[in-house]
Amino acid sequence: MFDKEESKLTEWKEQYDSINIPLEKINKAIDAGYKKGTIPIKKKRKTWIWPSIAAAILIIGFLTTIRVSPTFAEYLSTVPGMEKIVELISNNKGLLAAIDNEYAQEIGVSQEKNGMNVTIDSLIKDDTGMVIFYSVKANEELQNFQIENVELQTKEGTKINYDSLSFGNPADDKAKTYTDVLEYYFSKPLKDQELQLTIKVKNDSKITSFTLPITVKKQENKSKVFDLNKTVNIEDQKIKVKKVKVDPLRIAVHLEMDPNNSKQILEFQDIRLVDQHGEAWSKISNGITSSKISANEQIVYLQSNYFKTPEELYLVFNKIQAVEKGDTAVIVDTEKQKIIQQPKGNKLSNLQVEGQDIRFNLETKKEFNYFIFSSIKDSTGREIESDSGFSYGFDIDRYTQEIGVTLANNNYSNPIELELSFYPSWIEGEVKMKLE
């Protein structure tokens, strides 16, 4: 019944398998964050909102592998925009496993207005969050189409609070269909089963609001929790692995750094779960990859192995981005176009200020696919809004790439401080901790 869908998926997989890309480049691309290539390609933009979380680190991933199974093919055959769904979830083993194990719930509710039809196709929910697949189909080509806002409510219209929300916006104009995923995560389990979702879209400057009912089925999804409380030492930096919590949507690894460490831990670059056969569940590569509890505590999110129970399972990490605690920010004077402070090694150079753009050259031995800055403050401590961050392709001859930020305005006092969220400076070691 689903031979066509499975054949198409197999064809896509063969096409991707035949592409001659070195494994190193693939791994770097999976870890890529806020990257803009040297060739100007228009990409889908993604929006992240986290009203109550202290901070969240985000990575944008891309299509890697496609798993072909009868259940997956059956699911895709009922969903409008099949190809887009494959692209959206193919790099998340946890979501694929949820579908394979018939954990996804079919919704299939629609509303039509102003020549557009919005459909909630299906969802995957556990006690930590809810992933909603939806599609927009128009009678005519969409013009300057954007998702303006989404809001999840109870059946009675009460807004549901969340820790984080992510959703996309299309890169291609003049299409008649758009398919995407909403990812909600909550601090407490969502008990309501009767919900409604409001999606506001802008098409050709006109905003249309769609409100659709959602009935969520109760499902057994008890978390698997491994209380570890084990401390490891990497280059004299002590890191405690407090616990690992496994849910259908994602794995949460709770980490705490010793406050007496000399370095500030920025990013657990290669953290993963590995079973006895070497199969790995790595970091989520398209969405929220970690949340910051405090300066010394964070939760890192991995793809879920909830539906697979290996005989042996290990938490593994080897490479961590870290800087000295006195080097956690870059301070610049934009009037004098001078770098006042940066991490040791002086990897940032050639500061240029053009209008509201602040540009640097970042020196790295290899291409560094992370956008390094987070919050920005002026000399009075007032936060400066940034419209965007950018990173241009790696210059292999000079071992540099251009990075920068675009400020919302020039109403600030110098010098300004750009807080680091990533940086090409590492500590390395061998950590392999059995989960039991």
Mean pLDDT of 359-377: 90
More confident residue, 77 or 122: 122
Give strand pairing partners of 49: 165
Hunting for tokens 């989520």 — which residue is that?
284
- Which pLDDT band, with edges at 50, 70 and 90, does 220 fall under? confident
Exposure string for 276-300, b = 16+ CB within 10 A, e = fewer: eeeebbbbbbbbbbbbbeeebbbbb
- Which pLDDT band, with edges at 50, 70 and 90, does 369 fall under? confident
d(Cα 354, Cα 56) in Å, to the nearest integer? 29
Domain 224-319+429-434: state its class. mainly beta
Q: Chain-wide mean pLDDT for the chain?
A: 83
Exposure string for 315-348, b = 16+ CB within 10 A, e = fewer: bebbebbbbeeebbbbbbebeeeebeebbeeebb
Nearest-5° Cα angle at 372, 367 to 378 = 150
Indicate the pTM of the whole model.
Answer: 0.80
Least confident window among 88-97, 290-299, 332-341, 406-415: 88-97
d(Cα 333, Cα 414) in Å, to the nearest integer? 6
Exposure string for 43-71, b = 16+ CB within 10 A, e = fewer: eeebeeebeebeebbbbbbeeeebeeeee
pLDDT of residue 422: 94
What fold, for 104-218? Immunoglobulin-like (2.60.40)
pLDDT over 50 (residue 15)? no
User: For residue 8, what is the enclosing H or E element?
Assistant: helix 3-17
Q: Residue 131 to residues 36, 50, 103, 108, 185: CA-CA distances in angstroms?
A: 27, 15, 12, 15, 9
- Which pLDDT band, with edges at 50, 70 and 90, does 273 fall under? very high
Q: What amino acid is encoded at 328 in this protein? A: T
CA 228 to chain CA centroid, nearest Å: 26
Least confident window among 35-44, 110-119, 133-142, 155-164: 35-44
- Which pLDDT band, with edges at 50, 70 and 90, does 19 fall under? very low
Q: Residue 87 to residues 83, 113, 123, 198, 250: CA-CA distances in angstroms?
A: 6, 27, 16, 24, 19
pLDDT of residue 398: 73
- Residue 25 tokens read as 């480049």
Mean pLDDT of 181-192: 92
pLDDT over 90 (residue 77)? no
- Which pLDDT band, with edges at 50, 70 and 90, does 84 fall under? low
